[in-house]
Amino acid sequence: MSSRAEQPLPPLPLSTKARRTREQPISFLIETALRNPGLINLAAGLVDPLTLPVDECAEITRRILSDPSRGRAALQYDTTVGLRPLRQKLHEHIAALEGLAPRELGFTSDHIVVTTGSQQALYLVGDALLDPGDIVIAANPSYFVYTGTLQSLDAKVLCVPMDDDGMDVEAVAQLLARLEGEGRLPRVKLIYCTSYFDNPTGLSLSVARRKRLLEIVLSLRHRQRILIHEDAAYRELRYDGPAMRSMKSMDPDNRHTILSLTFSKPFAPGLKLGYTAMPDDLLHAVLQQKGNHDFGSANLAQHIALEAMRDGSYDKHVAVLIRSYRAKRDAILAALERFMPRDAGITWTHPHGGLYVWLTLPPSVDTSREAGIFDECVSHGVMYVPGEYCFQPDELGRIPQNHMRLSFGQVDPGQIAPGIERLAQVVRAQLTIEYSPQHVE
Ligand SMILES: Cc1ncc(COP(=O)(O)O)c(C=O)c1O
């Protein structure tokens, strides 16, 4: 007699890609936050829930849907590349960010693809360019969701160090020279760079390095066309310091750079809309992949974004966010100054924008997920992102384990100081140094 229960099924024959793809650490961090509702969450890279533009979006949606023909258009599919008037508006918007007239940009609105978040653009560009084993150069540390995407595409991520001026572009030049010497230049397809208020460090690529990076890819262009993918997700969240032109704006023929921006950070992640300006020949390949993904991002969201840009609510909202996040940035820096022991080789970045501060502890303090300090922090009611997620191994397979990514995006302003105080208590307990009396409350 046979019953279904007696015949265990063989494992589902997943694709090589599915088997290769690892879970993004973000899932585990979200689970930990949900299991500990009282936690001060300095890990979440989420935007501030209290500043989300609920009234503006309600009013805009009402306007769109109360006009039957507009409502019907918004609830219908649009094109794979994205709503034309939105792309025109975005072209003007990028020009304004660059301090240029739209005609001074090296690309038109026809070179802009609207995507389902800028994450989709990161994925699609990789999908269109990378075969297994192809090389992407990035900074160490880098945005870990993107490096996870590259791992899933079976690309090889080669990393260069970074400092307060961003990615070390001379190290990029040296790496490219070495790869060329080894005959591997044809495998190099992309240089990925979060040029504004980086995730995870909060730091930006200096103007001199932007120019130099472009110069490096131009010098190789007849042997290998390597594209710089500039991820500018946090560009508009600038609290102080000079506005900087993108590398895309320094690429007058639109041949060597890709510029990705998003509505998620400066407006509302729930719209899940990003937009990317890219070279013509890449655009066609990307659109074919996007045709397989979703043949167009949510059209209602695109209409809402367009209206927000047209009626001024987008710009007003960015101004509100800048004020609110600047205060939070100041609060986290002040709290670090107040609570973190300074005499133990502990340092942190001082970002001029974005949502992150990057804390470097002495090598003896292991911040990794498996080390006790992570759970210790959670039991003290505070959570951070272990820095290990943001690094690729060096040539000896080593990954630094003494960093924390701290985000001030989602956390309530009144919780920042207590959160850092709890974190500092755990760090202090890990240090073997005598704690200096001026830090004791
Ligand atoms: C550096 C960076 N790039 C891209 C993204 C993707 O965001 P979205 O897909 O919501 O535009 C994020 C999100 O956190 C990010 O931090």
Q: Is residue 41 packed enough to be buried (19+ CB in 10 Å), middle (13-18) or exposed (0-12)?
A: buried
Cα 1 to ligand 1 centroid, rounded to whole Å: 55
pLDDT for 32: 84
Percent of the chain with pLDDT over 70: 97
pLDDT for 441: 38
Cα 429 to ligand 1 centroid, rounded to whole Å: 34
The reply to whether ligand 1 has any atom less than 6 angstroms from the CB of 264 is yes
Atom of ligand 1 nearest to the CA of 120: 9
Read off the pLDDT of residues 389-415 as tens digits, 9 standing for 90 and up. Answer: 999 988 788 899 999 999 999 999 999
pLDDT interval class at 345 (50, 70, 90):
confident
pLDDT interval class at 344 (50, 70, 90):
confident
pLDDT for 37: 83
The reply to whether ligand 1 has any atom less than 6 angstroms from the CB of 302 is no
- DSSP one-letter string for 267-322: T-GGG--EEEE--HHHHHHHHHHHHHHTSS--HHHHHHHHHHHHSSHHHHHHHHHH
Q: Indicate if the pLDDT at residue 433 is higher than 60.
A: no
pLDDT for 437: 45
Atom of ligand 1 nearest to the CA of 198: 1
Read off the pLDDT of residues 251-260 as tens digits, 9 standing for 90 and up. Answer: 999 999 999 9
The reply to whether ligand 1 has any atom less than 6 angstroms from the CB of 119 is yes
The reply to whether ligand 1 has any atom less than 6 angstroms from the CB of 400 is no
Cα 45 to ligand 1 centroid, rounded to whole Å: 9
Read off the pLDDT of residues 209-260 as tens digits, 9 standing for 90 and up. Answer: 999 999 999 999 999 999 999 999 999 999 999 999 999 999 999 999 999 9
The reply to whether ligand 1 has any atom less than 6 angstroms from the CB of 266 is no
Helix (H, G, I), strand (E, B) or coil at 226: coil
pLDDT interval class at 439 (50, 70, 90):
very low
Residue whose Cα lies nearest atom 15 of ligand 1: it is 233
The reply to whether ligand 1 has any atom less than 6 angstroms from the CB of 360 is no
Q: Indicate if the pLDDT at residue 105 is higher than 90.
A: yes
Which of 29, 145, 258, 276, when mutated, tests ligand 1's pocket best, judged by the most ligand atoms within 8 Å of its CB?
145
Mean pLDDT of 80-102: 98
Higher pLDDT, 48 or 72: 72
Q: Indicate if the pLDDT at residue 177 is higher than 50.
A: yes
Read off the pLDDT of residues 186-215 as tens digits, 9 standing for 90 and up. Answer: 999 999 999 999 999 999 999 999 999 999
| Helix residue spans in 341-408 (DSSP H) | 372-379
Distance CA 357, CA 348 (A): 7
User: Which of 32-46, 97-111, 423-437 has the weakest average pLDDT?
Assistant: 423-437
The reply to whether ligand 1 has any atom less than 6 angstroms from the CB of 269 is yes
Read off the pLDDT of residues 60-70 as tens digits, 9 standing for 90 and up. Answer: 999 999 999 99
Cα 425 to ligand 1 centroid, rounded to whole Å: 31
Distance CA 288, CA 280 (A): 13
User: Which of 335-339, 390-394, 433-437 has the weakest average pLDDT?
Assistant: 433-437
The reply to whether ligand 1 has any atom less than 6 angstroms from the CB of 231 is yes
